[in-house]
Amino acid sequence: MIIADMPLEQLQQYRPPQTKQPDFGAFWKRTLDEALSQPLNEDLEPIPTYPVPEVEVFRASFDGFRAGRCVAWYLRPRDIGFDASLPALVFYHGYSGNKGMPHNYLMWALQGYAVLALDVRGQSGESNDGIIYPEGHISGWMTQGIMDPETYYYRGVYMDCVRAAELVAAQPEVDARRMGAAGVSQGGGLTLAAAALSGRFALAMPEVPYLCHFRRALEMAQQDPYLELSRYFRVYPEREEQAFRTLSYFDNLNLADRITCPVLMTVGLLDLICPPSTIYATFNHIKSEKKMCVYPYHGHEVPDNHAEEQMRWANRILRGIEPGNEK
């Protein structure tokens, strides 16, 4: 088999030092305090014509961190009654993507989960980004506002993810103690960040996560989006160290030890977009219950049958159903 990064045995031991700045904790406390104090001003608009009668679908919207408006799908089982206490899942999507269609989440809603699928601000969905950034950037979002953690694009994104969790927790039919987060690539990175920062999640299921160990990623990645950084540094070589200082606040390598919930993660050993060493670097700093699903012949992808492993973990942790006792 071709080795695209380190051998698996080395990956399993790879735990590079964190790169936290001295004010890392203070930065996130100040940011979270602001995000949690800002009103959501949420709206749930029903989609009455949705053709699956067992599920209710809503177009949910709420105010983004500081500016803009976030949009999501919200699904819940129909006829749940006034005493409902549903487990819930929040989904985050991949880079430049969007929340998709409601049918992408029926697997979960039909099992009895409430589901929220968020559009990331300014990408190809409905969420807009109302923040004005202080300077220009390379095409994409990785370098937007990168010269200062206060202005960096992913500060708003991470806080939108936290605010999405608050929206779900506030729904009267949801048991806020039984919430999980999930996503692929960028969505996997946002899952990790939200699990580290929100405090709402009892389970995190990131797949081939992005936004991990930026320095190593820039050394190893052979495809975008990490290569946006190298293009930026070709234009502004003098900004590299300051940019990496900003990135250190948003690197899941540095957020990993804040995660307290169980984590089910995946890695493709042939991944050229999110190199395996960047994923393991973050995984190996997580202190809570965790499992890495290793797919030796996969790149930046996950086999279809991984969904069954996700269902086992979600049903065990969020529904109290042990494997073998599904009936």
List 93, 213, 285, 300, catalytic entry? 300
300 is catalytic: yes
Alpha-carbon separation of residue 274 from 11, 207, 269, 306 (angstroms): 14, 10, 10, 18
Whether 160 and 70 have beta carbons less than 8 Å apart is answered as: yes
DSSP-derived secondary structure for 147-195: T-TTT-HHHHHHHHHHHHHHHHHTSTTEEEEEEEEEEETHHHHHHHHHH
List 5, 271, 277, 285, catalytic entry? 271
List 61, 185, 198, 248, catalytic entry? 185
DSSP letter, residue 213: -
φ, ψ dihedrals at 73, nearest 5°: -90, 140
Please, what is the Cα angle at 214 between 183 and 180, to 5 degrees?
20
Rounded CA-CA distance 254/29 in Å is 15
Residue with tokens 């999640």: 201
Residue 133 in 3-state DSSP? coil
Catalytic residues: 185, 271, 300
